[in-house]
Amino acid sequence: MPGTATAPDETTVGIIGGGPAGLLLARLLHRAGIDCVVLEGRDRAYVEQRQRAGILEQGTTDVLRACGAGERLDREGLVHDGIELRYDRRAHRLDFPSLTDGRRVTVYAQTEVVKDLIALQLAAGPPLLFEARAQAVTGADTDRPRIHYTHDGRERTLACRYVAGCDGFHGVARQAIPQSARRTYTRTYPYSWLGVLADAPPSQDELVYAHSPRGFALLSMRTPAVSRLYLQVPNGTDPDDWPDDRIWDELAARTALDTAPWKLARGPLTAKAVLPLRSAVTEPMRWGRVLLAGDAAHIVPPTGAKGLNLAVADVTVLARALTQWHRTGSTKPLDAYSATCLRRVWRAEHFSHFMTTTLHTAPDQSDFDTRLQLSQLDRIAGSWHAAAELAENYTGLPLS
C-alpha cells in the first residue's frame, strides 16, 4: 500500500520531500508542538536505500541526539578524530580535536539517518506520505500557500500556513519563487566521481583524501566491514567500463605511498555509480510563505562532506524560526531565515570548491596548476594555521 497515512487537506507546515531535510524538520516541529505533513515522492525502500553522504559534523550529531534520533547513531556511528591527506606518495594526518576546540566527526551513513527518522515519524510523528509527489506550489505570497500533489492515483491539495521545500536539487518548490525574484549561481566541474560500496574492511582507521597524477581518490567507510570508495573519472563515464579489478587497481595506484607499507584490502563490490560534481546556490531561500532547505536551495561537490550537514543546519534554523512564529506570532526569525542560512551556505560552498579544486586533476590542468596544488597541500601539512582552517571547516562551524 503506498503511503502510511490518509491524506489530510490542511496543515500548519507542509513539507515537500522526505530526505534528511524534510524528515528532520518534521521531527523538530513535532517536538515543538507544530503540526505538519511530509509528502515524499518515492517509496520508503527507495528513500532508505539511496547511497549518499557518510560524514556527520558534530553539530549534526548534536541536533540528531537532541531530537531523540541519536540512539543507534551513538551505538553504531564511528567517531573520527581526523582525516589523512595523501599527495606526492606521502601521507599527512590532520588531528581535528587539537586543531579545533575539540571537534570530531562521525561516520554514519545518510541511509541510516533516514531510516532512524522514518522509524520515529511512523511510530509517533506527524503524517508521512510516500509516493506523494508534489506537482506545484501556488499562493506563495498569500497566507494560505497550497501544495498540489498526487497520491494513490488522485490529485490532491494541501493548504498550509507555511510550505517547506525540502525536495532536493530536482524538486518543484524552488519554482514557487518567481523567476524574476530568484537567482541561481552555479559551477560545474570537468570531472565526476565513480562511487562504490565494497564488502571489504576499511584498510585505514580514518578517511583518506588522495591527490595523485592519476586523479583524486577517496577511501571512506560505512561499517568496520564495509568500505565506501570513490575515484575521480571523466564526465560521461559509463560505470560498465570499470570492472571491479580495474577499480581496485586504480584505487591502489592513486593511494600508493613511498613512506610506509600500504595495502588496500579488496572484496566484492555491491554498488557502483557515477556522480557528476556541481555547485549551486539559489537565492533567496524564502519567498512569501515558501522556505527552501537543503539541496532544494544549494548543492556542493561532495569533496568537503558538507551537503547533508548544510541541510541539517538549514532545518535547525527553520524549525527555530517557525517555533518562534507559532509561540509568539513574530515573523522576525522567518524574515531573517534566508540571510542567516546563506552565510553558512556560502562558507560551505567555498570550502567544498577549495577541497575539490585542490585535490582533483582537471583535464586541461597544466604542470603549473599541479605545482600550486602541491604547494597548497604542503602548506596545510606544514602550518598549524592552514591545517586549522581546513579542520574548522571540515568539522563544521558552530550553529549560531
Residues of this chain that interact with ligand RFL (CB under 6 A) are 16-22, 39-42, 47, 52-55, 110, 133-134, 166-168, 171-172, 195, 275, 294-295, 302, 305-309, 311
Considering only the stretches 240-248, 301-309, 330-338, 358-366, report the one whose residues sit in contact with ligand PHB under the rule CB under 6 A. 301-309
Pick between residue 132 and residue 348 the one whose CB is nearest to ligand PHB. 348
The residues facing 227 across adjacent strands are: 198, 221
Among 274, 305, 313, 334, binds ligand PHB (CB under 6 A): 305
Q: Does 303 bind ligand PHB (CB under 6 A)?
A: yes
Q: Which residue in the block uniquely carries the three cell numbers 551537503? A: 307
The catalytic position among 87, 108, 162, 394 is 394
Rounded Cα gap, residues 353 and 369, in angstroms:
15
Residue 303's binding partner out of ligand RFL, ligand PHB, none, with CB under 5 to 8 Å set by partner kind: ligand PHB
CB of 352 to ligand PHB, least distance (A): 9
Residue 302 is among the residues annotated as catalytic for this protein? yes
Pick between residue 305 and residue 341 the one whose CB is nearest to ligand RFL. 305
Residues 192-221 that bind ligand PHB (CB under 6 A): 207, 218, 220
The catalytic position among 87, 189, 191, 209 is 209
Pick between residue 17 and residue 302 the one whose CB is nearest to ligand PHB. 302
Pick between residue 55 and residue 311 the one whose CB is nearest to ligand PHB. 55
Rounded Cα gap, residues 104 and 114, in angstroms:
21
Pick between residue 111 and residue 175 the one whose CB is nearest to ligand PHB. 111
Residue 149 is among the residues annotated as catalytic for this protein? no
Cell numbers linked to 178: 518567481
Pick between residue 303 and residue 340 the one whose CB is nearest to ligand PHB. 303
Residue 306 is among the residues annotated as catalytic for this protein? yes
Among 228, 266, 298, 360, binds ligand PHB (CB under 6 A): 228
Cell numbers linked to 313: 543546519
Residues 53-82 that bind ligand PHB (CB under 6 A): 53-55
Query: CB count, 10 Å around CB of 338?
Result: 18
Amino acid found at 281: V
Pick between residue 338 and residue 358 the one whose CB is nearest to ligand PHB. 358
Residue 160's binding partner out of ligand PHB, ligand RFL, none, with CB under 5 to 8 Å set by partner kind: none
The catalytic position among 145, 202, 301, 302 is 302
CB of 135 to ligand RFL, least distance (A): 7
Exposure string of 190-211, with b = 16+ CB inside 10 Å and e = fewer, is ebbbbbbbbebebbbebbbbbb
Residue 137's binding partner out of ligand RFL, ligand PHB, none, with CB under 5 to 8 Å set by partner kind: none
- For the chain, helix, strand, coil in percent to 5 are 40, 30, 35
Q: Are the C-beta atoms of residues 158 and 136 closer than 8 Å to each other?
A: no
Residue 10 has what DSSP assignment? B
Q: Coil, strand or helix: which one is 249?
A: helix
Residue 190 has what DSSP assignment? E
Contacts of 154 (CB under 8 A, 6+ apart): none
Burial (Cβ within 10 Å: 0-12, 13-18, ≥19) of residue 101: exposed
Q: Are the C-beta atoms of residues 262 and 135 closer than 8 Å to each other?
A: no
Residue nearest to ligand PHB (CB): 54
Q: What is the largest CA-CA distance in the chain?
A: 65
Rounded Cα gap, residues 183 and 329, in angstroms:
30
Residue 337 is among the residues annotated as catalytic for this protein? no
The catalytic position among 30, 151, 298, 306 is 306
Residue 171's binding partner out of ligand PHB, ligand RFL, none, with CB under 5 to 8 Å set by partner kind: ligand RFL
CB of 148 to ligand RFL, least distance (A): 10
Q: Which residue in the block uniquely carries the three cell numbers 561532495? A: 302
Rounded Cα gap, residues 317 and 340, in angstroms:
8
Angle at 302 between CA 300 and CA 307, to 5 degrees: 55
Residue 356's binding partner out of ligand PHB, ligand RFL, none, with CB under 5 to 8 Å set by partner kind: none
Residues engaged in binding ligand PHB (CB under 6 A): 53-55, 207, 218, 220, 228, 302-303, 305
Query: Among all residues, which ones are annotated catalytic?
Result: 80, 209, 302, 306, 394
